[in-house]
Structure 1
Amino acid sequence: MAILISRRHLAVLGATAALSGAPRAGAQELSGKSVTWVVPYAPGGFGDGLVRLVAQKMAESAKVNVVVDNRPGAGGQIAATYVKQQPPDGHTLFYGDVGPFTINANLYRKLSYDMARDFTPLTRMMKSPSIVVVGAQSSIVDFKGLLLAAKGPPGLSFGSYGTGSAPHLWGEMLRRHSGLELVHVPYRGAAPALQDLMSGRLDFMPDVAPNSLPYVLDGKLRALAVIGDKRLPQLPAVPTLGELGYPDLLMEGWNGVVVRSGTTAPMLHRLHDEVVKAVQHPDVASRYTQMGLEVAPMSMEDFGNFIAAQTARWEEVIRNTGIALD
């Protein structure tokens, strides 16, 4: 898939490239004021749980009070808008994923924030493969069988976390790539979609591994393929889509953290180092691995490049599918 980098994406690259060469002018103090992680997910969910463990380790290491502030809604816009209105003093972090950081810029006709203008990337924290899953009672036993079942009417239904979410866009990529009869069923989150999948009301779903892996291991779901570049150690017999001949359909989940643009270089470097140290803590790494995640921090420059490339990729996908939200 050819990726074209637009001026908007180049703005992210330029900002982070400039910071990569900035001197580390001494350790920037964090004490005296709480550090707030703003999270675009509801309390108690998968994404919320990931950040709370890292925030705890950051508090212990940096010896600073760390608060997790949940501001869900509007595809991450509520959280993003709040963070961009805070002073650029390094004490408010915006934790997000592929949606608010890369998809939204291409999906919404009117977006309340601009990633390149309003934020500076700090680091990616982790990455997660996705898997194609069906209910355990389904007659579909492999990815080839899924394609055959979806070739003609009535086709198959697939679930997602909502219109414009990464699973929805992946399903549209599959439809466009293979000419399948697919019906998109949007849900408000992964939990209700997985329940319908297990009950047989939904045919299949592309889902990040931490959501569905426990149900696969319990025998309630069946994994057909890994939507990533390598097999999962927990599912060694499940092939990747690359192995099956579909490299253009690879999709990987990830999470990272950004801060307000205008934050000083010493503070950016201090925050980057503290977040990376927390993510790489053995307790965090062990927990992430159990969930099917991979600790994968990046330099600020590399994370900026990564966001720009991901934004360009989703721009092409969304343009080809014609999806747009107000």
Structure 2
Amino acid sequence: MYRRSLIGAAASAALLPAVGRAQSFPSKQLRLIVGFAAGGGGDIVARVLGAELTKSGGYSVLVDNKPGAGGNIATREALRAPSDGHAVLFANVGMLAVNPYAMKDVGYDPTTDIAPVCLAVDFSNVLVVHPSVPAKTLGEYLALAKRPEGIQYGSSGVGGAGHLAGELLKARSGTNMIHVPFRGGGPAMNDLVAGHVPSLIASAPTATPLMREGRIRALAVTGAKRSPFDPDIPTIAEQGFPGYAATNWYAVVVSSKVPPETVAALNAILTKALKSPEVQAAYAQQGMETIASTQAEAAAHIARETEIWKKVIADAGIRLE
């Protein structure tokens, strides 16, 4: 009996470090790393969530913008951080499912270096133009793009969902759409509103408020179906390109070196905040659907998206530099 008690006590003691780590997490400020400049979709997602974490959980939160290289700079920054789970990355489709397969060397492998925590939101991008552009439909826009000089379209950066959606439309339509990369959706939208770039493929959070104010004109959404938040905007697919679909999403991920029990604790903390009615209402106002997934669901979604976009990249011969 005494020996069994000793064995039981030893087994319990072996579990204490892992349990202790999970219960004491977070033990310092949470750093939410965003790969694009302030004002873009990822920045809005992170700031809404960060505010809820502070309000309801009492956590200290820093939103840290690290724009550049289509989000690769932010990804490498997150992977260099201490592997204690306090540095988390808001990663979009480009950072996890596109850049590693369309760029020469991104400096990380999402299949081995990254651990998914949860999916946060999902949304379509939208093709918008400055009011001075003489196009009120996608067909009229593509007619302008067929001219020898083509038409410029901006995006939040090389390899982002907007860029890839534009390249897919360019390949399907055979037009001269000229990509103009920015260091985030916010700067790109500022230049569109100012008339410095005629069109933009923007995230819903960046475009929706200005669309509703009438300061920019929406021509099409990139998803497979119309957005429930803006149902009057037709899809690209229904305007002559059946099967076209290019959505964006943001997942929260960490380094694969972060202990599994810490990743699980992060999932619990973040999904609780994401399920807050205030957070979901704030995202819906920006044209986004809140997901708040499990770790397994996030991993499966990223894997599916990776296979889809790897094939698109290979079939279209897309190379991003």
2:288 corresponds to which residue?
Answer: 293
The share of aligned pairs that are identical, in percent, is 33
2:100 corresponds to which residue?
Answer: 105
Normalised by the size of structure 2, how large is the TM-score?
0.82
1:271 corresponds to which residue?
Answer: 266
The code of the aligned residue for 1:315 comes to K
Please report how far the alpha carbon of residue 201 of structure 1 lies from its aligned counterpart in structure 2 after TM superposition. 5.0
Question: What is the CA–CA distance in structure 1 between the aligned matches of 2:52 and 2:205, rounded to whole Å?
Answer: 21
The yes-or-no answer on 1:318 pairing with 2:297 is: no
The code of the aligned residue for 1:228 comes to G
1:19 corresponds to which residue?
Answer: none
| Change beyond 3 A, Cα 1:49–1:192 | closer
Partner of residue 249 from structure 1, selected from 244, 250, 261: 244
Q: For residues 1-326 of structure 1, what are the structure 2 equivalents within 5 Å?
A: 28-29=22-23, 30-43=25-38, 45-198=40-193, 200-319=195-314, 320-325=316-321
Question: What is the CA–CA distance in structure 1 between the aligned matches of 2:59 and 2:188, rounded to whole Å?
Answer: 39
Please report how far the alpha carbon of residue 192 of structure 1 lies from its aligned counterpart in structure 2 after TM superposition. 4.7
Per-residue CA deviations over 1:183-237 (Å, capped at 9, x if unaligned) read 2233343345435544555443221122122222122211111211332345332
Question: What is the CA–CA distance in structure 2 between the aligned matches of 1:281 and 1:230, rounded to whole Å?
Answer: 26
Judge conservation of contact 1:158–1:202 (CA < 8 Å) in 2: yes
Q: Which has the higher contact order (CA 8 A, sep 6+)?
A: 1
Please report how far the alpha carbon of residue 131 of structure 1 lies from its aligned counterpart in structure 2 after TM superposition. 1.2
Judge conservation of contact 1:37–1:69 (CA < 8 Å) in 2: yes
The code of the aligned residue for 1:213 comes to T
1:20 corresponds to which residue?
Answer: none
Unaligned runs of 5+ in 2: 1-17
| Change beyond 3 A, Cα 1:53–1:207 | closer
Bigger drift between 242-251 and 269-278 goes to 242-251
| Change beyond 3 A, Cα 1:136–1:123 | same
**Aligned-residue CA RMSD in angstroms?**
2.6
Per-residue CA deviations over 1:222-257 (Å, capped at 9, x if unaligned) read 111121133234533221223334243211121111
Question: What is the CA–CA distance in structure 2 between the aligned matches of 1:175 and 1:238, rounded to whole Å?
Answer: 20
Question: Secondary structure of 2:237's partner?
Answer: coil
Please report how far the alpha carbon of residue 276 of structure 1 lies from its aligned counterpart in structure 2 after TM superposition. 0.7
| Change beyond 3 A, Cα 1:33–1:168 | closer
Question: What is the CA–CA distance in structure 2 between the aligned matches of 1:267 and 1:201, rounded to whole Å?
Answer: 46
Judge conservation of contact 2:78–2:255 (CA < 8 Å) in 1: yes
| Change beyond 3 A, Cα 1:178–1:43 | closer
Question: Secondary structure of 2:201's partner?
Answer: strand
Unaligned runs of 5+ in 1: 1-24
Question: What is the CA–CA distance in structure 1 between the aligned matches of 2:299 and 2:153, rounded to whole Å?
Answer: 32
Q: Indicate the structure with greater helix content.
A: 2
Bigger drift between 68-77 and 294-303 goes to 68-77
| Change beyond 3 A, Cα 1:324–1:195 | closer
Please report how far the alpha carbon of residue 289 of structure 1 lies from its aligned counterpart in structure 2 after TM superposition. 0.9
Aligned pair count reads 301
2:4 corresponds to which residue?
Answer: none
The code of the aligned residue for 2:27 comes to G
Question: What is the CA–CA distance in structure 2 between the aligned matches of 1:305 and 1:157, rounded to whole Å?
Answer: 35
Normalised by the size of structure 1, how large is the TM-score?
0.81
Please report how far the alpha carbon of residue 87 of structure 1 lies from its aligned counterpart in structure 2 after TM superposition. 3.8
The code of the aligned residue for 2:244 comes to L
